[in-house]
Amino acid sequence: MGRRLGILVATLGLSVGTASAQDARAVLQASVKAMGGTDLKTITYSGAGWFSQIGQTYGLAEDWPHYEVTGYTRLIDYGATWSREDYTRRQGNYPTLGRTPMPEQHVTSILSGTYAWDMQGTMPVPLTRPYLDGVPVADLRQLELALTPHGSLKAALAASNATAITLPIVGASDFGLSQFGRRVTIVSFSILGKYKMNVTINDQNLVELVDTWFPNPVYGDMDYEMRYTQYKDFGGVKFPQLVHVHQGDPRLNPAHNYYELKITDVKANVAVPTMPVPDAVRTATAPAVKVESQKLADSVWVLAGGTHSSMLVEFRDFVAVVEAPNNEARSLAVIAEVNRLVPDKPIRYLVNTHHHFDHAGGLRTYLSQGTTIVTHETNKDYYLDILFHPSPWTLDPDRLAKYSPMYMISRRPAPLETVGGDTRGTAPYVVTDGVRMMEIFHVQDMAYELGDPSLRQGNHSNDMLVAYLPKEKILLNADLYSPPAQGAPPTAPTGAMRTLYQNMLKLKLDVAQHVPIHGRVGTNDEFMRMFAKTDKTN
């Protein structure tokens, strides 16, 4: 469907000219009038629905995992560039798909001018980590304000470079760029000096779709699309009763539905209480990317110092790194530390534990220097067609985009090797120099074998890999088990921990140290203590 739509857009583009900025302004003003936005200064709306965890699919053939949202309320003051969202989120009846069920939690998200923060009770929480390790949160929330139905019209009218293009009816069997096959006008402009935005206005002068793109270390220029339907008049202001949102990559159809809200109440020009930007937010700066290395054994280090760790293993004439998380900045810092610890040996292999955004965001950096990527076999087409594809990376170009845009065309076959062909999960991929050995196993999902249907999937993703050093008795895992803080009592094992335990038994792994991607290194003794009284398998 995505390819067909792309062809349609290209064809229409050949036959329809672009209107002037003056024409765009007339279109926008007609829409503002039709939607009751002429004197609109503030707006509040509320409803309920579901949101998703972007970049965290259990498998690549599925949508982003959903969770329930209740009590959603948004307050907007357009003149003050102010927005506040409040809602309660919980797992609800949506499947957990290999993760711990989302606990009930109240969320408060605020934008004030160019500052963004969350609230935990009465305490402001600065947001210094970019959204999905790509776009600054303050930029994203300004975009989200401009993505609202009336906000998109205000943003377009404020832009000096808005142009309009009118697309004709394209036939009953095609939607074209209208959700209902009707004539639409698309107004395009740039916002915040670097982001492109399109506002699609239908033949009733209602905003039907708003699109923008933001930088992401996995998708490059990542699409963010709002679809507005079921308009209703709320006291003179027309507002959609159904808000359906996409966030993803049009080339990968299954994973793109971000959230959906059914709007039940809208009020215009009511008092919207704002608050000054807290000093903790105004002065917050992003922490420097740092790598802290800890030697685990001869020629083996864990590379920590951030939200995610990697592991370095030195071989006779090369090295291997396990995990390239977050983004290029993290990968470059890890590579620098690798070169410091083991100078003059190339990084020949990069082992990727699974496809989630936060664990795959730095893969392109290693690929750009010729490192062979080792991942599960189900990821091969996804990585070649999406992650490593020379598609647009205009908003924040990385090394692969800037220096090697033809890499995936000139390097055939691509340096990508896969794990997981053996359905029993007992045949590892082996990295060795004839002396040291690192085995890569595919984690078998054993939740149903545990006899507890409430666990559903016990694995975090269906492509999960673990790395095992038999001589050193070191086992690295991602998102299955992280040792608790020093001195904390052992916790009850989760489904993911049980799955790791069952795989260790099945594979007969002799483990002394657990190296998690998140958290501290732990001993196998403390891991096994969790199962001393709860083991159902013996």
Of 246, 273, 300, which one is at a domain's C-terminal end? 273
229 contacts 179 by C-beta, under 8 angstroms:
yes
CATH code, 313: 3.60.15.10
- What sign results for the dihedral spanned by CA atoms 31, 36, 40, 42? negative
Domain count, the chain: 2
Do 300 and 230 fall within a single domain? Answer: no
Query: Shortest CA distance to 37 belongs to which of 181, 196, 148?
Result: 148
Query: Shortest CA distance to 506 belongs to which of 456, 463, 445?
Result: 445
Helix (H) or strand (E) holding 311: strand 310-314
Q: Is residue 30 domain-resident?
A: yes
Beta pairing partners, 285: none
Q: Is residue 534 domain-resident?
A: no
In angstroms, rounded to a whole number, what is the distance separating the alpha carbons of residues 359 and 466?
A: 13
Q: Is residue 180 domain-resident?
A: yes
Q: Is residue 284 domain-resident?
A: no
210: helix, strand or coil: strand
32: helix, strand or coil: helix
Do 302 and 253 fall within a single domain? Answer: no
Structure-token pair, residue 228? 């507005």
DSSP state of 276: P
Do 250 and 327 fall within a single domain? Answer: no
In angstroms, rounded to a whole number, what is the distance separating the alpha carbons of residues 523 and 490?
A: 12
Of 273, 304, 330, which one is at a domain's C-terminal end? 273
Structural domain of 171 = 2-273
Do 268 and 403 fall within a single domain? Answer: no
Tell how strand 474-477 and strand 513-516 pair up.
parallel
156 contacts 197 by C-beta, under 8 angstroms:
yes
Query: Shortest CA distance to 474 belongs to which of 309, 332, 345?
Result: 309
Do 384 and 412 fall within a single domain? Answer: yes
Of 238, 273, 308, which one is at a domain's C-terminal end? 273
**Model pLDDT, residue 489:** 81
Q: Is residue 346 domain-resident?
A: yes
Do 262 and 356 fall within a single domain? Answer: no
Q: Is residue 285 domain-resident?
A: no
243 contacts 228 by C-beta, under 8 angstroms:
yes
Phi first, then psi: what are they for 356, rounded to 5°?
-60, 145
Query: Shortest CA distance to 148 belongs to which of 260, 80, 212, 226?
Result: 226
469 contacts 521 by C-beta, under 8 angstroms:
no
269 contacts 41 by C-beta, under 8 angstroms:
yes
In one letter, which amino acid is 155? Answer: A
82 contacts 50 by C-beta, under 8 angstroms:
no
Do 125 and 233 fall within a single domain? Answer: yes
77 contacts 287 by C-beta, under 8 angstroms:
no
* Burial of residue 36 (number of CB atoms within 10 Å: 0-12, 13-18, 19+): middle
In angstroms, rounded to a whole number, what is the distance separating the alpha carbons of residues 363 and 455?
A: 31
Q: How many CA atoms lie within 13 A of 136 on its CB side?
A: 16
DSSP state of 170: -
342: helix, strand or coil: coil
Structure-token pair, residue 506? 């099945």
Do 108 and 246 fall within a single domain? Answer: yes
DSSP state of 385: I
CATH code, 257: 2.50.20
pTM given for the model: 0.89
Per-residue pLDDT of the chain (538 residues; tens, 9 = 90+): 343 333 333 333 333 445 566 689 999 999 999 999 999 999 999 999 999 999 999 989 889 999 999 999 999 999 999 999 999 999 999 988 777 889 999 999 999 999 999 999 999 999 999 999 999 999 999 999 999 999 999 999 999 999 998 766 554 433 345 556 678 899 999 999 999 999 999 989 999 999 999 999 999 999 999 999 999 999 999 999 999 999 998 777 678 999 999 999 999 999 999 999 999 999 999 999 999 999 999 999 999 999 999 999 999 999 999 999 999 999 999 999 999 999 999 999 999 999 999 999 999 999 999 999 999 999 999 999 899 987 789 999 999 999 888 777 777 788 999 998 654 456 799 999 999 999 999 998 765 444 454 444 567 889 999 999 999 999 999 999 999 988 888 788 888 899 999 999 999 999 999 999 999 999 999 999 988 765 544 4
Do 269 and 296 fall within a single domain? Answer: no
Q: Is residue 241 domain-resident?
A: yes
In one letter, which amino acid is 350? Answer: L
Do 34 and 112 fall within a single domain? Answer: yes
**Model pLDDT, residue 18:** 52
Query: Shortest CA distance to 1 belongs to which of 254, 224, 209, 203?
Result: 254
Q: Is residue 133 domain-resident?
A: yes
In angstroms, rounded to a whole number, what is the distance separating the alpha carbons of residues 322 and 467?
A: 8
Do 342 and 468 fall within a single domain? Answer: yes
**Model pLDDT, residue 359:** 98
155 contacts 24 by C-beta, under 8 angstroms:
no
In angstroms, rounded to a whole number, what is the distance separating the alpha carbons of residues 404 and 367?
A: 10
Phi first, then psi: what are they for 461, rounded to 5°?
-160, 155
Could you tell me the maximum CA-CA distance found in the chain, to the nearest angstrom? 77
Do 242 and 345 fall within a single domain? Answer: no
